[in-house]
Every structure is written in C-alpha cells, then in structure tokens.
Amino acid sequence: MALDFPDSPVDGQIYPTTPTQTGVQFIYNNTVGVWQLLGKAFNFPAMGASGGTEATSGGYKYHTFTASGSLTVSTGGYCDVLIIAGGGGQGTSSRGGTGGGAGGLVLGYNAVISAGSYTVTVGAGGAYQSTGGDSSIFSATADGGGPGSSGVTGDADGGSGGGGGGSRSGFHGVSTQTDQTIGGVTATGYGNRGGDTDQGGSWGQTQAGGGGAGSLSVFGTTQSSLSTGGSGLVLTEWADATSTGHFGVYASGGSGGGETNTISGAPIGGGGVGGVRNAYDGTNGIVNTGGGGGGHAYYTGTANNTGGSGIVIVRYQV
C-alpha cells in the first residue's frame, strides 16, 4: 500500500487528514526530518510477524537476521527497517594495505507492509580485494562495501567506498548507496567515499581507510598516524535491543595500514584496525556490523583482512 507524502512538509503537518486511506496517520517532525506515526485506526491492527531472532524492548518487537532467511508477516502493518550490507575487504598497495569500505546502510521508518512471506538476504563480508555482499528485504537493497583499492587502479566503489592506495592523489572508492523505497516510504541510504592516500604524510608509507556510514575516512597527517576508517552510524536503541552492533554503532570503514610508529585505532562501528610494520598486521571487520576490513602492514604485512558481514533488523510497536 503506497503512501504519497506531501512535498516540502512543515513541522506538525498531519498526513493523511483522515486515516481511512491507509488506516494510519503520520505527523512530520522537522527536528529529525521524518514522518512519524501519529495513530492507527481501529481497523488497522498492529503488525505481527515471525522469523529471525526475536526480542521485545522499549515497546518494540525486533526481528534480527544475522544470516539469510525469511520473515513471515501474519498481520500487515507498519514497521521500521534497518538493512546493512557486508563490508569490503582490504586492498593492497606497494607500501601497505588499504582499508575496505563499510557496507551500505538503509534505514526506514513507518513502512506499511502487507501480510506475506519475505526473503531476507544478509550479505557476507568481502574477501581480500573484494566487494562485500548486498543485503536486502522488502525489495530494498543495501550495497556491499567497496574493497580497498589496489595500487593506483582497481574498482573500490561500494556502499561506502574503499580507501585509495599507491601514489595517485585523489584516488578512492565512492559511495553507490542510494535511498530506497520500503512500504511506500523513503528509507535513507547511508554511505561515504573512502580516503585519499595523498592527503598527508609520505605517500608510500601510509594507506587510506574506507568510508563509513557516518563519514569518510580521516587521513593521518604524518607517518606515525594512520588513516582511520570513516565513522559508523549511531543506532544505540537498535543495538541495545538486539545485542548487535559495536558499542551501539554500525558500518564503520576499515583503517589503512602502513609504516607507522603506533597502532591505529579503529572507529566504533566494526571496521578493522590497520596494520603497523614489524608490530601488527591489522584485523578483519567485525561480523554482523558491515565494517570494512583493516589494511595490512607495510612490507611485513601478510594478512588478507576481510570485511564484516551485514545484518537486517525489522521492528514494530507492540
């Protein structure tokens, strides 16, 4: 059942004027820029469903999918949807590993879903130099994270782009994630480009990190500070209710590896840590966060760090 929200709404605007069209009414909240549920008619029952790992918290029932499966909607109704793709694997360059981009993230509120069985796809984390797998539900798709680029060439685009490598300034993966339509409403797509290798320091000694759902990669300014992957998106309520995410955050990019004096931190949200010559070889993205893989260390690095797998969560009021 499609919903055609008015263009350029004002704060407090109600749609539709009467609930006879859809059985529900929404009010526009200008502070957060979304239409929120105002109320439901007597003939429009609360959604009911089964599938995934089920939990109830804060007045919502959550269905969490950490692997592909199906959601059976026994009673149609409204719901909120979170879709995160698998993160990209690390790339490699002449002087260290480039960080993988986070999986694309799609977040939608107040989607109206009819009764039926729906396929849920949870994307795998990308292998070494590979794009993460797409995640999907309700015909909406989150794009897999781009791999870290390999040298001065290579396809590093994805939900969030992979980090640039080699000596080519301005080379990085870009975000392919777009907004999606779920149950008649627009779900926002989140993703950012990866970092550039030549934004600071010695080009051959520090490789760029991948983009995250919250920001692009932050590049180190000297050889002793690596390129940290882009930040993830903070969704504490979802994470706490389902015991998922990484400190309440999802989909951060993997940090770049290289030759540095200290181990770089990884952003909150599941992205892997970048490697350090003669000290540390980096880490994979964390499973079911969509985090990108961290780049391996320069010269002594041997790891082929992978991205973290994705996740799909559906919730509705109870």
The per-residue DSSP string of 97-138 comes to EEPPPPPPEEEEEEEEE-SEEEEEB-PPPP-TT-PPPPEEET
Most confident listed range (14-28, 182-196, 261-275):
182-196
Query: Same domain for 110 and 151?
Result: yes
**Three-class secondary structure of residue 113 per DSSP:** strand
Flag whether pLDDT at 222 surpasses 50: no
Would you state the pLDDT for residue 78?
Answer: 87
- Number of structural domains, the chain? 2
Flag whether pLDDT at 166 surpasses 80: no
pLDDT category, 270, cuts 50, 70, 90? very high
Flag whether pLDDT at 302 surpasses 80: no
Query: Same domain for 94 and 15?
Result: no
Query: Same domain for 22 and 170?
Result: no
Residue 196 token pair: 């550039």
* Mean pLDDT, range 54-75, rounded to an integer: 96
DSSP string, 229-241: PPP-EE-HHHHHH
CA-only gyration radius of the chain, Å? 20
Query: Same domain for 9 and 62?
Result: no
pLDDT category, 27, cuts 50, 70, 90? confident
Does residue 147 have a cis peptide bond before it, meaning omega lies within 30 degrees of 0? no
Residue 174 token pair: 């870009």
Query: Same domain for 272 and 296?
Result: yes
Instruction: Let me know: does 80 contact 110? Beta carbons within 8 Å.
Output: yes
Flag whether pLDDT at 153 surpasses 60: no
Identify the CA nearest to 171 among candidates 222, 217, 224. 217
How far lies 263's CA from each of 47, 59, 179, 256, 286, in Å?
48, 42, 36, 11, 18
pLDDT category, 13, cuts 50, 70, 90? confident
* Mean pLDDT, range 6-24, rounded to an integer: 70
Burial grade of 223 (CB within 10 A; 0-12, 13-18, 19 or more)? middle
Flag whether pLDDT at 224 surpasses 70: no
Share of the chain above pLDDT 90, in %: 51
Would you state the pLDDT for residue 260?
Answer: 61
Query: Same domain for 27 and 130?
Result: no
Query: Same domain for 15 and 149?
Result: no
Flag whether pLDDT at 316 surpasses 90: yes
Please state, in angstroms and rounded to a whole number, the distance separating the CA atoms of residues 82 and 37.
17
Would you state the pLDDT for residue 8?
Answer: 85
Kindly give the residue spans of alpha helices, DSSP state H, lying in 81-190: none
Lowest mean pLDDT: which of 72-76, 196-200, 285-289? 196-200
Triad 239, 240, 242: Cα angle to 5°: 70
Lowest mean pLDDT: which of 206-210, 216-220, 243-247, 275-279? 216-220
Query: Same domain for 24 and 101?
Result: no
Query: Same domain for 159 and 105?
Result: yes
Flag whether pLDDT at 289 surpasses 50: yes
Flag whether pLDDT at 203 surpasses 50: no
The predicted model scores a pTM of 0.84
**Three-class secondary structure of residue 28 per DSSP:** strand
Q: What is the mean pLDDT of the chain?
A: 84
Residue 236 token pair: 């504490």
Flag whether pLDDT at 179 surpasses 90: yes
115: domain range?
47-318
> What length is written for the chain?
318
**Distance of alpha carbon 238 from its chain centroid, rounded?**
14
* Mean pLDDT, range 277-282, rounded to an integer: 78
Would you state the pLDDT for residue 135?
Answer: 98
Query: Same domain for 170 and 104?
Result: yes
Query: Same domain for 164 and 231?
Result: yes
Query: Same domain for 143 and 26?
Result: no
